[in-house]
Structure 1
Amino acid sequence: MSKVLIVAEHLDGKLNAATAKCVSAAQALKPDSIDIVVLAADPAGVAAEAAQIAGVAKVLAVANAANAHAIAQVLAPQVAKIAAGYSHVFGPSTTFGKDLMPCVAALLGVAQVSDVMAVEGSHTFKRPIYAGNAIITVEAPTDHAVVATVRTASWPEAARGGSATVEAVNVDAALPTHTRYVGIKAGKSDRPDLQSAKRVVSGGRGVGSAENFRVIYALADKLGAAVGASRAAVDAGYVPNELQVGQTGKIIAPELYIAVGISGAIQHLTGIKDAGTIVAINKDGDAPIFEIADIGLVGDLFALLPELQAALQ
């Protein structure tokens, strides 16, 4: 009998779309049941939202003041306790999941399966390797629980309309005292979240400077899109690193991805392989980005972007 436990990702009382994508991956296992655990200081709102995901049997709400901030070392012992009786424990392959799930796997004494992009069987999965240039099939041991992160770019969000029961759960787990929340520094933006946005406009080294990046922000605002960047742009200090797209940044799958002044290093292409339509704007017609782009514009981005914005009026 297979039972899947999914660790919900949430922020500011809102459920992240990555959780519904984990449900899609869990459904591919054809399990007997899928449950979601919400850990928060006050999980009621997020739990109610999670209960609406189709295919979910039960939502476990764990209220604890220590869960006010998503600290892996605090959440992991609680998840490990709850995981007893489950055959699979899934979390999203986001910053949150990459931080938390290895801790859960370590506490359960198992090896983690990372970036699950396809389910071949109850313990057999496909995942990318070599910056996404190869896909490997991995088989987890069948004698203990499978702890895995789900490559959210490879799965659709599970449908809404569910009516799972919400159950308050008390977890008796020893929480660490050596790890504490100090603070968070994050940029504020009214734009969509990069990891879940349907449209993304990214800038690269070709943009030239942090000041010049205003043309990227302007186009993104016109399209209602999130803003991303290549590693070269981040390393050059044009934008903060939370905007980085690629192997060492965020793996995304928007419906529309516009790459401006990005040459297309393999590490960047890894982050956008699952995008719907890719548009490349670059003055170098031989740039690797054009090999994978659906639409390519060769020219000066500072001339083309104003024209594109004018056409969008």
Structure 2
Amino acid sequence: MNTHRGILIICELAGNSVHRVSFELLNKAMELKERLHEPVDCLLLGPSGKDLNELNLRGADTVYYMQSPVFKNPEEYLFKENITRFIKQHKPGIVLTGATSFGRSLAPRIAAALRTGLTADCTDLKIDEDGNFIQIRPAFSDNILAHINTVTYPKMATVRYKEFEEAQIDSSKKINIVEIEPYVSFFEKSQVIDIFSEESIDISEAEIIVAAGRGIRKKEDLKMIEELAAKLGGTVGASRALVDAGMVKSTRQVGYSGNRVKPKVYVACGISGAPQHLAGMKESEIIVAINSDPSAPIFSVADYGYVGDIYEIVPALIRDLP
């Protein structure tokens, strides 16, 4: 007999605040709750002193706050061990995690430890006529939508950031935050080293992105992309080609297998526009494309296009922009 019940959202911090993907997950979880009639709870691991009231005000029945200084930085192994033990004790039926850089690394470790399935990068979730939790995700470069029903418990899914609207705040909601101690605060046989740096940045939050693609010939040439991004007040992104070539960290990758972004301005420099890349940036508010091939697919989604050599156009933009 299945003893798992309820929906658990694994939340994360973005600086000193709750990452906004948690509010998006709450919105979808509240829809599922209407069909399941089961509680929606949140679990957040972090240092003390964080204001988590908004999670209750946006719909969470109970917010579990596991506090410890060791959670100051998101370290997968320590987080995995504590979250796994929490899930084994509380037995939720569904576990949702944001498909952020950290969530994509953490969720598979939890699923493996629990010996359960995980559907990654979902774009929708629903409860079918038989009460099954159906996880929906694109497949074959967004050409089809796969509907997946996991048979093991808990049923786990990561959900793409900025896929759903955030749950609305209801000031009449009851604040119910339960502070709990960590199950594990250190590793006896390993040492966790703080190596977090600027490269842990989540570019999905950026409002302006200047992205480089296969048109960049060597790593040193990325300096002009960085200069243009700095001049626009934005950050640098990249296509998979540059990540595979070792020129850029994977945290900068935009696309189906990287980060999905929705900035106000997206400048694509030397990016042809493969379907996998377009899937990650086509919903940007304004898209500017620079490419020497006038038939490049990137121009099909661009608001503004420059046909020409990025080695001429990008330096000119840097020079002429105020």
Q: TM-score, normalised by structure 2?
A: 0.80
Shift of 1:308: 5.0
Counterpart Cα distance in 2 of 1:239 and 1:90: 29
Q: Name the structure 1 match of 2:18.
A: 15
Counterpart Cα distance in 1 of 2:29 and 2:48: 22
Counterpart Cα distance in 2 of 1:105 and 1:240: 26
Equivalences for residues 138-217 of structure 1 within 5 A: 138-141=148-151, 144-159=153-168, 164-172=175-183, 177-184=188-195, 186-187=197-198, 193-217=202-226
CA 1:33–1:213: 2 relative to 1, 3 Å: same
**DSSP-derived class of the 1:212 partner:** helix
Shift of 1:108: 3.2
| 1:261 aligned to which of 266, 270, 275 | 270
Q: Name the structure 1 match of 2:123.
A: 117
Shift of 1:287: 1.9
Shift of 1:133: 2.9
Shift of 1:11: 4.9
| 1:132 aligned to which of 142, 150, 160 | 142
| 1:104 aligned to which of 82, 107, 110 | 110
CA distances 1:68-127 after superposition (whole Å, capped 9, x unpaired)? 442333222322333324222111112211222122223333211221211232601210
Equivalences for residues 41-60 of structure 1 within 5 A: 42-45=47-50, 47-48=51-52, 50-51=54-55, 54-60=58-64
Contact 2:199 2:251 (C-alpha < 8 Å) held by counterparts? no
Shift of 1:235: 4.3
CA RMSD of aligned residues (A): 3.2
Q: Is it true that 1:70 corresponds to 2:70 in the alignment? A: no
Counterpart Cα distance in 1 of 2:290 and 2:303: 11
Contact 1:36 1:50 (C-alpha < 8 Å) held by counterparts? no
Contact 1:15 1:49 (C-alpha < 8 Å) held by counterparts? no
**DSSP-derived class of the 2:165 partner:** coil
| 2:252 aligned to which of 235, 243, 249 | 243
Could you tell me which runs of 5 or more consecutive residues in structure 1 were left unpaired when the two chains were aligned. none
Could you tell me which runs of 5 or more consecutive residues in structure 2 were left unpaired when the two chains were aligned. none
Counterpart Cα distance in 1 of 2:239 and 2:301: 16
Which AA in structure 2 matches 1:38?
L
Percent of aligned positions that are identical: 30
Which AA in structure 2 matches 1:170?
E
**DSSP-derived class of the 2:112 partner:** helix
Contact 1:230 1:245 (C-alpha < 8 Å) held by counterparts? yes
Counterpart Cα distance in 2 of 1:55 and 1:275: 29
CA 1:261–1:105: 2 relative to 1, 3 Å: same
Q: TM-score, normalised by structure 1?
A: 0.82
CA 1:105–1:300: 2 relative to 1, 3 Å: same
Counterpart Cα distance in 2 of 1:69 and 1:91: 17
